[in-house]
């Protein structure tokens, strides 16, 4: 039972990170039908910036949770800036181009950003300073769920709530939903669609950076290549949940996190990724639009 709970919580932690990254994919896809392949790289850049800030701070003798928060904030700001620039440079000029063009551009951007970080920094894994202390109140349950996991869970839950409020209640959120449902109609009521697309990239990138910082401080190391697998898995989560659907991304992330955690715990950890993609194939075969996705009737 204890083992089960351990797996349950590690799956939940993992899943919530996938969900954070998946949101960026799903929001962008919902509006411009693009798999933003470079999204994983934004996540990586977020983690790297956080590492730089946290590293500099610890070297100059500062430490503690407040540093993590500072690093997180700066990482989010930078990730947003990168996301915004990415869209402007690599995707906006391709609006209206054949469908494969932005996808190739995205793959190119992903390669570019990876190698840019590789050149500017290093190819080595860099240790991320340990900034989350073991909370005393977590002592009794520490064998099931540790302090870092708790921080991750709380942060993601708060982030999700804020995101939900943003999307449900604010003017921008409403415009985002409207643009997703009918882009030209949104234009006709006066929405500046280009700005909304930029906003989507900025928000998605910020979420990815939060994920990046959390994972980096949890796992304890960062490298230029971490974005790729995280990105692919998060995208899988988004597709699982039904791409374009925000609750779908969260559900997809959690399903994926649990599937991996339980499969690794009970069956074989080596084949973790096989279960991930096996699950994807299975669900898409049964429900081609994902768990919460709507099958769109095409007009003939």
Partner 1 sequence: MLKIQNIQTFYGNIQALKDVSIEIEEGEIVALIGANGAGKTTTLMSICGISPPRSGDILLDGDSIKGVAADKIVQKGIVQVPEGRRIFPDLTVQENLEMGAFLRKNKRLIQQDLNYVMTLFPILEKRRTQLGGTLSGGEQQMLAISRALMARPRVLLLDEPSLGLAPLIIKQIFEIIRKINKESNTTIFLVEQNANQALKLADRGYVMENGRITLVDSADKLLANDDVRKAYLGI
Partner 2 sequence: MLQNLKQSLLISLWFVFLTFPLMVVRVNTMDQVVIWRWMNMLWVAIASFVLSYGWRYMFARQKVRKKVADEGGETRSKLQLLLEDMSFRYKAMGVILVAALIFPQVFDTYQSTIMISALIYVVLGLGLNISVGLAGLLDLGYVAFFGVGAYSYALLNHHFDLGFWISLPIGGIIGCLFGIVLGFPILRLRGDYLAIVTLGFGMIFKVVMENWDSLSFGPSGIANIDKPSFFGMDLNLADSTVYIYYIMIAMVIFTILVTNRLKNSRVGRAWIAMREDETACVAMGIDIARTKLSAYALGAFWAGMVGVLFASKTTFINPASFTFMESAIILSIVVLGGMGSILGVIIGAFFLILLPEYMRAFSEYRMMTFGAAMVLMMIFRPQGIISNLRQTYQYKGLKDKTNNG
- Which residues, 22 to 61, sit near partner 2 by CB under 8 A? 29, 33, 35, 45, 48-49, 51-53, 55-56, 58-59
Sign of CA dihedral 195, 196, 198, 199: positive
Span of 15-23, 119-127, 184-192, 254-262 interacting with partner 2 by CB under 8 A:
119-127
Interface size with partner 1, residues (CB under 8 A): 17
243 binds, among partner 2, partner 1, none (CB under 5 to 8 A by kind): partner 2
Indicate the Cα dihedral angle 85, 86, 92, 98, nearest 10°. 170
CA distance 201 to 185: 21
Question: Which two three-digit tokens encode residue 235?
Answer: 């995208």
Span of 77-85, 162-170, 182-190, 195-203 interacting with partner 2 by CB under 8 A:
77-85
53 binds, among partner 2, partner 1, none (CB under 5 to 8 A by kind): partner 2
- Which residues, 185 to 214, sit near partner 1 by CB under 8 A? 185-193
Distances, alpha carbon 49 to alpha carbons 33, 260, 299, in Å: 29, 28, 46
- Which residues, 189 to 218, sit near partner 2 by CB under 8 A? none
Shortest distance, position 288 Cβ to partner 2, whole Å: 5
Q: Could you write out the DSSP letters of every residue in 230-289? A: HHHHHHHHHHHH-TT-HHHHHHHHHHHHHHHHHIIIII-STTHHHHHHHHHHHHHHH-TT
Convert residues 128-167 into a mask of x (bound to partner 2 by CB under 8 A) and - (unbound): xx--------------------------------------
CA distance 52 to 79: 14
Contact set with partner 1 (CB under 8 A) = 171, 174-175, 177-178, 181-182, 184-193
């Amino acid at each position: 039972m204890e083992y089960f709970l351990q797996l349950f919580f590690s799956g939940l932690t993992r899943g919530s990170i996938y969900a954070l990254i998946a949101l960026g994919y799903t929001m962008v896809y919902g509006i411009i039908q693009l798999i933003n392949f470079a999204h994983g790289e934004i996540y990586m850049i977020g983690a790297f910036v956080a590492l730089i800030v946290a590293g500099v701070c610890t070297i100059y003798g500062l430490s503690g949770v407040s540093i993590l928060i500072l690093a997180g904030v700066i990482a989010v700001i930078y990730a947003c800036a990168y996301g915004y620039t990415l869209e402007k440079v690599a995707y906006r000029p391709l609006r209206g181009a054949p469908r494969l063009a932005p996808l190739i551009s995205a793959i190119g951007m992903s390669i570019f950003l990876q190698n840019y970080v590789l050149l500017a920094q290093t190819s080595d894994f860099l240790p991320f300073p340990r900034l989350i202390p073991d909370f005393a109140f977590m002592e009794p349950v520490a064998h099931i769920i540790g302090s870092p996991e708790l921080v991750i869970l709380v942060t993601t839950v708060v982030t999700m709530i804020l995101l939900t409020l943003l999307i449900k209640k604010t003017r921008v959120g409403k415009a985002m939903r409207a643009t997703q449902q009918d882009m030209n109609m949104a234009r006709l009521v006066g929405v500046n669609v280009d700005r909304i697309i930029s906003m989507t990239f900025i928000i998605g990138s910020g979420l990815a950076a939060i994920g990046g910082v959390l994972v980096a401080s949890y796992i304890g190391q960062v490298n230029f290549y971490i974005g790729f697998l995280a990105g692919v898995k998060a995208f899988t989560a988004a597709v699982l949940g039904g791409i374009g659907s925000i609750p779908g991304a969260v559900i997809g992330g959690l399903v994926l996190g649990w599937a991996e955690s339980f499969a690794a715990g009970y069956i074989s950890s080596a084949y973790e990724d096989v279960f991930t993609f096996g699950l994807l194939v299975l669900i898409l075969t049964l429900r081609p639009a994902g768990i919460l996705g709507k099958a769109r009737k095409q007009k003939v």
